[in-house]
Amino acid sequence: MREIQYSSGDLVADRRASYAAALAAERAFAEAAELMAQALEMVPQWVAGWNLLGAYREAAGDIAGAVAAWTQLLQLDARGLFGATLKLAAHGAGGSAQAAPAYVEALFDDYASRFEDALVGRLGYRTPEMLEVAIRDTLAARGATRFERALDLGCGTGLMGERLWPLVDRLEGVDLSANMLAEARRKRTYDRLQKADLVAFLLEAPGTADLIVAADVFNYVGDLQGPLAAASNALRPGGLVAFSLETHAGPDAVRLGTTLRFQHATTPTLAICQAVGLRTVRVEATTIRLERGLPVEGAIVLAERV
Ligand SMILES: C[S@@+](CC[C@H](N)C(=O)[O-])C[C@H]1O[C@@H](n2cnc3c(N)ncnc32)[C@H](O)[C@@H]1O
């Protein structure tokens, strides 16, 4: 577990917090929580401290205690950087199971420099590769070799872009996180990179894209009605949208996991595609990565604008 650390502004409280972090690294979460609670008695307005206390209590199995810490966090974190609403919702304790852009931005700003090592190196992340294969197959089936204008939604550090650029004339990426975009910029594969929410970006130039890709992004977005309608609107007729989902087999179209990522049911997602003018051309159930050594179930979906 790694939670964002910030100073409390009080040396003694900071020292308690660093002992707590050391204990948490040894998986002594209850003891870590105890020390964090002491630090917060000294600095009760320490927003990041409440976040850490919630994380330690959750890891210690003290969900009621974690909920109390996140409820306090919700009061203090006006910008929603620590995702208190998602954390509460994931434990059925109120909050709201909606996308939380400020939280996603802070999460990936913090993660950017370690992202590729962590995801590709340790978590067996192969989604860009799987999407590339599916896109190439579809191109081949159409007897075509290239796309003109491609959009990489939630482009992150550019792992998907590296695979797309040989297939496209123009590649544009969008992401909420400036630090992820800075990593992507270094790869020099994008003609344009934009810091924005993907729906706003898609609404910029209707009917002009040939390919829209979202690799491991919709699991941070939640309800897909808006994003898929915007993608459909951005595509030329015959244009392709290719995305990955983290899936679940329950009755709900979307649910929030305790990982704070959204999981989608495949059939309702395909129904949204159809409703917004996207005809499904390929659906493939697959493992999209590992989490704590276990496979995370997902799907690769390709659909074309009718
Ligand atoms: C797990 S990373 C995947 C990055 C990249 N697509 C890849 O496959 O390596 C998810 C990315 O989506 C971005 N993201 C999440 N929600 C977004 C939104 N609503 N608009 C733009 N970017 C978003 C995050 O900032 C993050 O960089």
CATH of the domain at 66: 1.25.40.10
Q: Cα torsion for 157, 158, 162, 166, to the nearest 10°?
A: -160
- Residue 2 within a domain: no
What was the pLDDT predicted at 122? 76
Residue with CA at minimum distance from ligand 1 atom 8: 215
Task: Say what the pTM is.
Answer: 0.93
In a shared domain, residues 43 and 130:
no
Per-residue pLDDT of the chain (306 residues; tens, 9 = 90+): 445 557 888 899 999 999 999 999 999 999 999 999 999 999 999 999 999 999 999 999 999 999 999 999 999 998 999 999 999 999 988 877 788 899 999 999 999 999 998 887 778 889 999 999 999 999 999 999 899 999 999 999 999 999 999 999 999 999 999 999 999 999 999 999 999 999 999 999 999 999 999 999 999 999 999 999 999 999 999 999 999 999 999 889 999 998 999 999 999 999 999 999 999 999 999 998 888 888 999 999 999 999
Pocket test for ligand 1, best of 116, 126, 135, 176 (most atoms within 8 A of CB): 176
In a shared domain, residues 156 and 236:
yes
Rounded distance from Cα 200 to ligand 1 centre (Å): 14
What is the edge-to-edge ordering of all strands in the sheet holding 168-175? Answer: 192-195, 168-175, 147-153, 209-214, 235-246, 294-305, 278-291
In a shared domain, residues 200 and 57:
no
- Tokens (6 digits) for 174: 């969008």
In a shared domain, residues 56 and 150:
no
Task: Report the pocket of ligand 1 as residue ranges, CB < 6 Å.
Answer: 101, 104, 108, 127-128, 154-156, 159-160, 174-177, 180, 197-198, 215-217, 220-221
What is the number of the ligand 1 atom nearest to the C-alpha of 116? 9
CATH of the domain at 256: 3.40.50.150
- Domains in the chain: how many in total? 2
Q: Which residues constitute the domain of residue 34?
A: 11-96
What is the number of the ligand 1 atom nearest to the C-alpha of 198? 20
In a shared domain, residues 135 and 263:
yes
- Residue 208 within a domain: yes
pLDDT digits (tens, 9 = 90+) for 135-168: 999 999 999 989 999 999 999 999 999 999 999 9
What was the pLDDT predicted at 293? 83
